[in-house]
Amino acid sequence: MKARAFSYFRAATIDHALDAHARAGDDARFIAGGQSLVPALSLRLQAPRLLIDITHIDELRGVRRDGDSLRIGALTRHCEMLSEPLIAEFAPLLHAAAPFVAHPAIRNRGTFGGSVALADPASEFPAMTLALDAEIEIAGPSGRRRVKADDFFIDLFETALRPGELITAIYVPLFKADQRFAFDELARRRGDYALVGCGIMATCTGERIDDIRISFFSVGNTPMRVKGAEASLIGSDLNAQRIAAAQGALEGDLAPPESDEVPPAMRLHLARVLLGRLLGRLGEDA
């Protein structure tokens, strides 16, 4: 199948892109890496009249320190999550997750902003923005704003983005000496979307966990923090008993939907297994 005919506009600035979208209304889409949008066009799952290419907008590029945060431009490609030294040093959870996103050809084109905007519940990076307590910077017809990742993912492929708004950057708190992280996923084959995946950021004093954010993907309609499991770990040393308690708490935190691929009970079991492994690794890092 081929995509329906569309017009193409290459935006040079954010204002250009926003104006073009405002003029075309619902019939326009921004295109970044095209790794999700182009297949959707080819399958005619989407058929906009206008594509607004945002890949030539300089303001959406680059990774730099900004106070206590790392500003990661929306156009940062998945492959740059692996190659950019600032990300390896100050956002190591993203660096750890990047090799699990698709395959090299897709990582060479796909962008961080595109992945977060799409909000596929099976994607690695949207879930990691939750674990990292990141903020999403948005530009739109009524100005600029920042939205916490906790408030960004609303429902299946539904986010806090309003029509015609553009993600400009994602701000991630700088990784600190008293923090630990862990990431892994369970997939049938490397490069496939995960059956279950998880990323963890913890702040510790010695063995004790002072704060922890645990985010799962491929377990429901959105990436999800598991607040019951988090609460069961805060204030305690990471030992076998606490890990078992956190695994038990997942029953209340997660309600995986029915699916042909993996029954809900199996997905919950896989989530428990994965959480146990990752918390075990965090303990080893102590």
Distances (CA, A) of 130 to 74, 196, 215, 224, 225: 16, 16, 6, 8, 7
The residue from 41, 93, 118, 131 that contacts ligand FAD (CB under 6 A) is 118
Q: How far apart are CA 11 and CA 111, in angstroms?
A: 17
Q: Does 76 bind ligand FAD (CB under 6 A)?
A: no
Q: How far apart are CA 134 and CA 115, in angstroms?
A: 14
The runs of H, that is alpha helices, within 25-181 are: 37-42, 78-83, 85-90, 92-97, 104-107, 112-118, 124-131, 149-152
Q: Does 246 bind ligand FAD (CB under 6 A)?
A: no
Between 78 and 97, how does the x/- string for binding to ligand FAD read (CB under 6 A)?
--------------------
Of 36-44, 196-204, 241-249, 268-276, the window that binds ligand FAD (rule: CB under 6 A) is 36-44
**H or E, element range at 2:** none
Q: Does 102 bind ligand FAD (CB under 6 A)?
A: yes
For ligand FAD (CB under 6 A), the number of binding residues is: 29
Nearer to ligand FAD by Cβ, of 76 and 232: the residue is 76
Q: Does 129 bind ligand FAD (CB under 6 A)?
A: no
The residue from 115, 215, 222, 232 that contacts ligand FAD (CB under 6 A) is 115
The residue from 24, 63, 79, 101 that contacts ligand FAD (CB under 6 A) is 101
Distances (CA, A) of 259 to 118, 265, 267, 272: 21, 11, 10, 18
The residue from 80, 84, 124, 253 that contacts ligand FAD (CB under 6 A) is 124
- Closest distance to ligand FAD from the beta carbon of 9 (Å): 13
Nearer to ligand FAD by Cβ, of 30 and 90: the residue is 30
Of 18-26, 65-73, 120-128, 145-153, the window that binds ligand FAD (rule: CB under 6 A) is 120-128
Q: Does 35 bind ligand FAD (CB under 6 A)?
A: yes
Nearer to ligand FAD by Cβ, of 80 and 230: the residue is 80
Q: What is the CA radius of gyration of the chain?
A: 19
Q: Is 44 exposed, middle or buried (0-12, 13-18, 19+ CB in 10 A)?
A: exposed
Neighbours of 187 (CB within 10 A): 15
The residue from 69, 76, 123, 129 that contacts ligand FAD (CB under 6 A) is 123
Q: Token pair for residue 161?
A: 């983005």
Q: How far apart are CA 115 and CA 136, in angstroms?
A: 12
Nearer to ligand FAD by Cβ, of 66 and 192: the residue is 192
Of 12-20, 98-106, 204-212, 231-239, the window that binds ligand FAD (rule: CB under 6 A) is 98-106
The residue from 6, 34, 49, 220 that contacts ligand FAD (CB under 6 A) is 34
Question: 253 by DSSP, 3-state: which?
Answer: helix
- Strand ordering across the sheet containing 135-140: 63-66, 69-73, 166-173, 135-140, 143-148
Amino acid at 16: H
Neighbours of 137 (CB within 10 A): 20
Q: Does 39 bind ligand FAD (CB under 6 A)?
A: yes
Residues forming the site for ligand FAD (CB under 6 A): 29-37, 39, 54, 74, 101-102, 106, 110-111, 113-115, 117-118, 120, 123-125, 166-167, 193
